[in-house]
Each structure stands twice: as structure tokens, then as C-alpha cells.
Amino acid sequence: MTQPQSHSQPADTQWPRWEVFKQDAQGRPHQAVGSVHAGDPQHALLTARNVFVRRPAAVSLWCVLESDILTATPEELTTNPALLGTPGETGTYHVGVKRTNKRSMTFVDLSGTVQATGSGDALRQAQIMHPEVLAWMVFPETVVVRTDEDPGTVESWFAPAKDKTYKQQQHYGVIGRHVGELKRAGLMPGRAPSEDSA
């Protein structure tokens, strides 16, 4: 339900894009963490697990086809108010808000659901409920593909990652002595002069 493309584009040979929403713990909101390309819903979920639940804890994953999502920033709504008329089925819509740019990964938090007559209507309600945000995102409940909640899935999809320590790169050992140790011992060559002046 993004805007129909009026200008011609080169043929897209990629699989469709799915936005991935990860829930870190029960009771926490699902957050948009990134996207995957996949051929079908099950493939999207499996891929999302591999890409986004390798180390960090998670209890649930959702995937939503990018074309089922309507997003807008306040600036976009000002220049293109027609976005509020974007059609869609009547029903339950998820509302996501992006509140900050402070982190390197700026997540969209799903803040709840609204009853709407279409994507544009859901966006209008999102704007009223959350006036001071960087961006809104809405999509119908019916398009969400989600992981099963059975113990088997939880155990094989989410439990292994939980037990693995997430290590920063510098915690991994290296062949021979660590570079920090070599630096302290004065065994590392200095920077090239051009880099120093840069």
C-alpha cells in the first residue's frame, strides 16, 4: 500500500522485501529491526531468524511484506496529504512510531492497534495519537506472518541465541598476541604521516 509508482523503474529481479519485527521479551513491543528478501512467508521468517536472532534475545518474530506497509514522516504528510486517503481493508491496523534518531539502529516501536477503514485512516489516527515523532508506520493485522508460539519453535528458534554470549569484536582472541598488547609493548608501527595529518 505504498504509493503506486507512476514513473518507470528497471525490472526488479530481487525477491520481495519483508520488514522484520522482533520482540525481545514478553510484554515488550515488537520493534522493526530491519528487512530481509525472501520468496514466501515461511522463508521470510526463517531468514529473519538467521539474520536478526543470532545472538540477541528474542521471543517472537513477525514479518510483513514491505508493500503492505504505509509509512510517512511529518514532512511527507505536509507535502503529500493524499497519503491519508490511502485505501485498504477495514479492520485492525498496527501502528508503529519512530521516536528517535539517537541510536545507530533507529527502531520503529509497534505501539498498539487501531480500528481503521484503510491504511490512510490508520495513519491519520497514528498522527493524532503520536503527534511528536519522526515517522509513523501502519499495516493491517491480517498481513502479519508470525512465528509459532509452541514450545518446539521457542526452543529451537529463540532459546539457543539466549545462551550465547554476545561479544564485542575486541573480546575475541587473535592469532598470536592481541594488538593492544603489542601497542603497549611499542611493537606496532606508527601511523603513516598522511593519515596523521588527515
Partner 1 sequence: MTTGTQALTDTQTQALLLKLTVLADDEIVVAHRNGEWTGHAPILEEDIALANIAQDELGHAGLYLTLAQNLGGSDPDQVAFWRGPDDYLNTRLVELPKGDWAFTMIRQFLYDTYEALWLEAATRSTYAPLAEIAAKAAREEKFHLQHTALWAERLALGTPESERRTQAALTELWPHAAQLFQPTHGEAELTAAGILPDLNAVHVRWTDLVTRHLTEKCGLTLPATPDAQPGRDTHTEHLAPLLEEMQSVAREYPTAEVW
Per-residue x/- marks for partner 1, 127-166, CB under 8 A? -------------------------x--xxx-xx--x---
Give the separation between CA 161 and CA 178, rounded to whole angstroms: 27
- CB 111 to partner 1: min, Å: 28
User: Which of residues 24, 46, 113, 145 is near partner 1 by CB under 8 A?
Assistant: 46
Give the separation between CA 133 and CA 126, rounded to whole angstroms: 10
User: Which of residues 29, 31, 43, 112 is near partner 1 by CB under 8 A?
Assistant: 43
State yes or no: residue 193 binds partner 1 (CB under 8 A). Answer: no
User: Which of residues 37, 183, 184, 191 is near partner 1 by CB under 8 A?
Assistant: 37
DSSP the chain: -PPPP-S------SPPEEEEEEE-STTSPPEEEEEEE-SSHHHHHHHHHHHHSSSS--SEEEEEEGGG-EEE-HHHHHH-GGGGG----SEEEEEEEE----SSS-PEEEEEEEEESSHHHHHHHHHHH--S-SEEEEEEGGG-EE---SHHHIIIIIHHHHHS----GGGS--SSS-HHHHHHTT-SPPPPHHHHH-
User: Which of residues 10, 173, 186, 190 is near partner 1 by CB under 8 A?
Assistant: 173
State yes or no: residue 107 binds partner 1 (CB under 8 A). Answer: no
Q: Which residues, in sequence order, are bridge partners of residue 80? A: none
**Size of the residue set binding partner 1 (CB under 8 A):** 28
State yes or no: residue 62 binds partner 1 (CB under 8 A). Answer: no
State yes or no: residue 187 binds partner 1 (CB under 8 A). Answer: no
Residue that is written with C-alpha cell 536478526 in the block: 52
Q: Which stretch binds partner 1 (CB under 8 A): 4-12, 47-55, 59-67, 109-117?
A: 47-55
User: Which of residues 3, 42, 73, 115 is near partner 1 by CB under 8 A?
Assistant: 42
User: Which of residues 128, 175, 192, 198 is near partner 1 by CB under 8 A?
Assistant: 175
Dihedral over Cα of 58, 64, 66, 71: its sign? negative
State yes or no: residue 17 binds partner 1 (CB under 8 A). Answer: no
- Contact residues for partner 1, defined by CB under 8 A: 14-15, 36-40, 42-43, 46-47, 49-51, 54, 152, 155-157, 159-160, 163, 173-178
